[in-house]
Structure 1
């Protein structure tokens, strides 16, 4: 998020290089903000900051639980212990922010990143080059770190795609993951989990019935959407006509802000959802623009942001991002609003886990009802749904995150995977809760695949902390009630959505477009990978790749998506020297 940029460094580091150093900071657009003990907080113009105490600063937007924006640090009470202030913010506020606390006694810095993950946070802990920043390119320019590829992370990312790791692709630089707290001293750093999704799926936190769940989800989503809308005022809504983006549109329809909507159109069927998008826009009274993505708009070799720390912008991301950027420029939007992450937040699980959860927590009657709902949802027989549920009940998952070794040589495989803070599971966790919380790890990657946010922020209101918490408290079987996916969300907004959207079962897909892009560009992709840095490091199984590129792609074979991921990584590593 280039528009919101900050850098935290020790005071002595800020002053060490005199006038040249200060001139470089000014050239980077970073200016000294509030004093914070032995650390200097620098931020770009327009980056929100709040001074809470003499040694405490919040960077980003902070909202009260009622949705009101906090504009004065005096609204936040004083706490002696850093953990107490963290707990207070997590329980009474939400937003996209970083909490910074300087401890004068031992020159330590305590940093907490909000659970939404909307404000980036990277750090390095060397005693003479300590920093915390949203933009690693600023630290590189100041000589605080070097832009050298961490090849261990690349191997890890190839083996465990979309597992959000603390390690980054830049050597020596780590990411503070959403909901985590960092204590950085002169000689050591320590990270712990300040916020946990597991507490919201505990039996004592469950909603008692579907009506209570729907009311809570509706209130949380509406408050998050409207709070962000009041910040930005002029919004480009990215609408597909699917349930998630339509719910965001319905909430924007209740806000007194300027909204322009845009939907993407491809040359092949599958992703063209203009009819649904028009239906929703007519319902809320927003005008709708269309942006067409051509085959030639999808590229596997393109410039990546200098602030990126991991390969996350792929072929489809690039094409859709550029199209939305054009729409944002045309309308002069202050921000983009996206329904990204909605499938995960609204518990769109595709297996039998919800029925298994109902059996485990509420016994035979609830389990039988959930099996019936599962059969209706997947349009299969009751017996098949029961068989799948029994298999889920009997299974004992051993893997926390499944490896993908396809097209990798043995030297390109990383074992074991990095430990994510959410891998510390409570005892007797239900299988559906396990699945949806692990999917939430991947959902945070939505925020990394939108380089258009270098010019205006992309808001993901469905990933806001109160929305995530409200949705987690609704048991998984409630989300398949009456044989409808995302059932709680449908019930929550039944009076705000057109019948065509509310009853829709299909989902748009870019698979036809991606398949056509692969067919047109596979020769170039072959040369790109087989002549690239991943191969020179011995990470690719070149024989398997050669066979794959030489063969025709069978119908419904999605293996080419793995090729897209390899190209994404190759494109990123080529630009890091």
Structure 2
């Protein structure tokens, strides 16, 4: 079992009952009890680092500063400035009482929170939090409708009543009159300011490569066996190069499906050969049962059910080879600013006006998207001149009945953007936010933790400082990243324009499960909650699944949400 599990009780001195209940609940586990003053009790396995200073305690992985420098920190802002990682920090007043609780910016150690008899209870897993206080799970159907209507947006809200989440970069402060209050400490908008920009292409490449190598070295100890999920795409190949440069005890695995787009062995082999990482090739079975509960109880729907057998394969390999961590390039497209629109050219128009720079950006985007330069120019001009910001987050009906369809997305601090934000930087930040919604809830993380170097604080801060137009130089998406590893990774990987995927595999699985899914969805928990537009759902299930059919793609998040609900509630 992964060691990255903890349960934290703050204000425990006011009521001993939650502590006693938690201790009894955790007695059969390998959790150890740490009493930090009279008000704080921590339960965690011995393998989870716990660092104590006079003015704060850190749970988890913290890197980037010397012990002497860290010992001088007494405020969360100072900790963020000097260090980064996957940690939760508890600030202590001069009397040793709790003062603040911080979750690391872009940290992937979760912090689910509730309150019991005046005690704040925060844990790495929602099931730990509920079990420690003896509370039965109850689903939050309000969350479900937001989850289905606003895809890829993960906020403080969870799918369990009474439990919310402290987001990365947020702090839980104890106010003067007693109540705890949430405060955002880290925001991506600080890093897009013009005075922080890295406008020189050479310096941008150097800074990006340095940040990735720093992230890999900080997250992956050299002596810890790790398993890289290597597709042979630009992002995972860059991590292969960084792991090799670090001298990590790393090996790679690539997953292969029967569908042509799911076979990337040619590129994965090239990246593995260039970096010296041993490569295993695992065939993913083509018979996935989509109409079943998810394997892991999570606060929200996590693992896509179409990937369940692939997840099982990776978990089994980690058990066999005693892997200490999975390494994933998840979020690389988003962090490395792969453009989905004409926004980078709109940024140039806003910043420099009509001129050579604008036409260069327009030409680059036309080449990337195989589009007409005039069409790109029109789109960029409209975005540059449009003073009305786009909707806070894209909305889909997601098979919800009209009465259940929410009008606006739930709050997230990153959606509070500066008035003068450039269109491309808005898209860049939102893409990173969307990527963060897909890093939890995988069964393999119960075997070993996942590390996401490209979604770490050093890499994201550096990427945000690089203007969008540098990422599209010479008509290549992610150009800064591609050029930064030129001469290290093979040209056929760095110049790759195609992208593998599992669309065909997922569509085939949907067709194979069609009959079982009718009962699974139409008689499931979500249908019985009254949220679903049954006629529209029945029509979608009756059609042959085809790529490009938007109605078919909307079935996948619904399947995952129903599987998640059944994990908590059982069969309806």
TM-score, with length taken from structure 1:
0.93
Within the alignment, does 1:233 sit opposite 2:234 as a pair? no
Q: Provide the residue aligned with 1:380 in structure 2.
A: 371
Segments of structure 1 that go 5 or more residues without pairing to the other structure are none
> Does the 8 Å CA contact 1:39/1:102 hold for their aligned counterparts?
no
Match of 1:190 among 181, 192, 198: 181
Native 8 Å contact 2:197 2:466 kept in 1 = yes
State the partner residue of 1:11. Answer: 12
Matches within 5 A, 1:295-310: 295-297=286-288, 299-306=290-297, 308-310=298-300
Q: How does 1:440-479 map to 2 (within 5 A)?
A: 440-479=432-471
Query: Any idea what SS the aligned residue of 2:292 has?
Result: coil
Aligned length: 565
The answer on whether the counterparts of 1:7 and 1:43 sit within 8 Å (CA) in structure 2 is yes
Instruction: Say if 1:271 and 1:508, in contact at 8 Å, map to a contact too.
Output: yes
How far has the Cα of 1:514 moved from its partner? Answer: 0.8
Alpha carbon RMSD of aligned pairs, Å?
Answer: 2.2
Partner SS, residue 270 of structure 1: helix
For the pair 1:217 / 2:208, whether they are aligned, the reply is yes
Tell whether 2:334 aligns with 1:344.
Answer: yes
Q: Which moved more, 1:330-339 or 1:196-205?
A: 330-339
Separation (CA, whole Å) in 1 of partners of 2:308 and 2:458: 30
Pick aligned residue for 2:254 from 263, 266, 269: 263
1:61 has 2:55 as partner: no
Partners of 1:311 and 1:222 in 2: CA distance: 32
**What residue number does 2:499 align with?**
507
Partner Cα distance (1:145, 1:13) in 2: 20
| Residue equivalent to 1:50 | 51
Identify which of 148, 152, 164 aligns with 1:162. 152
- For residue 125 of structure 1, give the secondary structure of its aligned residue in structure 2: strand
Q: State the Cα distance separating 1:304 from its structure 2 match.
A: 3.4
Q: Does 1:90 align with 2:84?
A: no
CA contact 2:222–2:246 (8 Å) conserved in 1: no
Taking the aligned partners of 2:547 and 2:73, their CA distance within structure 1 comes to 61
TM-score by length of 2: 0.94
Q: How far 1:79 moved relative to its partner?
A: 4.7
| 1:555, distance to aligned residue in structure 2 (A) | 5.1
SS at match of 1:575: helix
Matching of residue 273 in structure 1 with residue 267 in structure 2:
no
C-alpha separation between the residues in 2 aligned to 1:98 and 1:21? 19
1:16 offset after TM fit, Å? 3.4
Alignment partner of 2:394 out of 402, 406, 428: 402
Does the residue aligned with 1:444 lie in a helix, a strand or coil? helix
**1:76–1:158 CA distance, 2 compared to 1 (3 A):** same
> In structure 2, how many angstroms separate the alpha carbons of the residues matched to 1:171 and 1:188?
20
SS at structure 1 position matched to 2:287: helix
Residues 263-287 of structure 1 show CA distances to partners (whole Å, capped at 9, x for unaligned) of 0000111110001001111111222
Corresponding residue number in structure 1 for 2:304: 314
1:43-91 deviation line (CA, Å, top 9, x unaligned)? 12211110021x52101111116xxxx6x5x5523355xxxx2122211
Separation in 1 of the partners of 2:481 and 2:539?
Answer: 45
Structure-2 residue corresponding to 1:33: 34
Residues 121, 175 of structure 1: 8 Å contact kept: yes
Partners in 2 of 1:3 and 1:51 — Cα distance? 19
**SS class of match (1:399):** coil
User: Which deviates more from structure 2 when the two are superposed, residues 141-150 or residues 507-516?
Assistant: 141-150
- Deviations along 1:9-57, whole A, 9 cap, x unmatched? 133378437977634333243222251452112212211110021x521
Contact 2:222/2:249 (<8 A) preserved: no
Contact preservation (8 Å) 2:2, 2:446: yes
How far did residue 327 of structure 1 move?
A: 2.3
Residue 101 of structure 1, aligned match among 82, 85, 91: 91
Deviation per residue, 1:117-165 (Å, 9 max, x gap): 3111011135434211112222222226441111111121121122111
